[in-house]
A and B are shown apart, each in its own frame.
Chain A
Amino acid sequence: GENVEQHPSTLSVQEGDSAVIKCTYSDSASNYFPWYKQELGKGPQLIIDIRSNVGEKKDQRIAVTLNKTAKHFSLHITETQPEDSAVYFCAAFGSSNTGKLIFGQGTTLQVKP
């Protein structure tokens, strides 16, 4: 069935360093890949997304890359700040076109001041 694998499960970086989170997906028909940030006690918040017709997208300190051939996509955060500390989830649109998202298991990012 449809599956999204996310690595690493935890990531600790020093303030100012970069952080990279990687995901792979199983369904080659998936065409939409959002990233969500979840803070404690809150719902996931969309931070960036990418569609399958582009290979990279940037928004200030955040970028996402997509390799459709390898079925990989990654989140890159540069110049990390303590407020970037949260749980990050990748997701992929299922091929059944029902709108449901298949989520990765999440990465807990800690940015140490």
Chain B
Amino acid sequence: GAGVSQSPSNKVTEKGKDVELRCDPISGHTALYWYRQSLGQGLEFLIYFQGNSAPDKSGLPSDRFSAERTGGSVSTLTIQRTQQEDSAVYLCASSLSGQPQHFGDGTRLSIL
């Protein structure tokens, strides 16, 4: 497809488990972003990748969160030892450098 694709669309897991969320950006987009949206809230920046530069990790809430972007395309956000407060919608966006960000539909993560 032409848009940003995220998988899975929904994920339910038990507290303490690790989870991996995947983002396929729009082809050719050099920048990729992860945001978190808690129920009824705005979007909270997590991490930003731009080309081959070191990522901006300033929004990651704890060291349980990490992300990587392989080959400048697909990205994976990993949350280790999940906690109930990690429950949220995780949104990925991509863009050309300096251009508007386009979002996927997100992964709805529920921690039991």
Contact = CB atoms under 8 A, between A and B. Distances in A.
Interface of A: 6, 34, 36, 41-46, 49, 89, 91, 96, 98-106
A98 B58 contact: yes
Q: Which of A44, A89, A102 has the most CB of B within 10 A?
A: A44
A43 B6 CA distance: 10
A103 B59 CA distance: 13
Contacts of B103: 36, 43-45
A46 B100 CA distance: 8
B71 interface: no
B50 A89 contact: no
Given A43-B103, A43-B104, A100 B42 contact: no
A44 B91 contact: yes
A10 to B, nearest CB: 11
Contacts, number: 57
Interface string B35-52: 100001111110010100
Given A101-B43, A106-B40, 12 more contacts: A43-B4, A43-B91, A89-B42, A98-B50, A98-B56, A99-B48, A99-B50, A100-B48, A100-B58, A103-B42, A104-B42, A106-B41
Nearest to B4: A43
Contacts of B104: 43
Interface of B is mostly: strand
Interface of B: 4, 31, 33, 35, 40-45, 48, 50, 56, 58-59, 91, 93, 95, 100-106
Contacts of A105: 41-42
A12 to B, nearest CB: 17
Contacts of B56: 96, 98-100
A98 B44 CA distance: 15
B59 A100 contact: yes
Contacts of B40: 106
Nearest to A42: B105
A34 B106 CA distance: 19
Contacts of B91: 43-44
A26 B59 CA distance: 18
B43 A98 contact: no
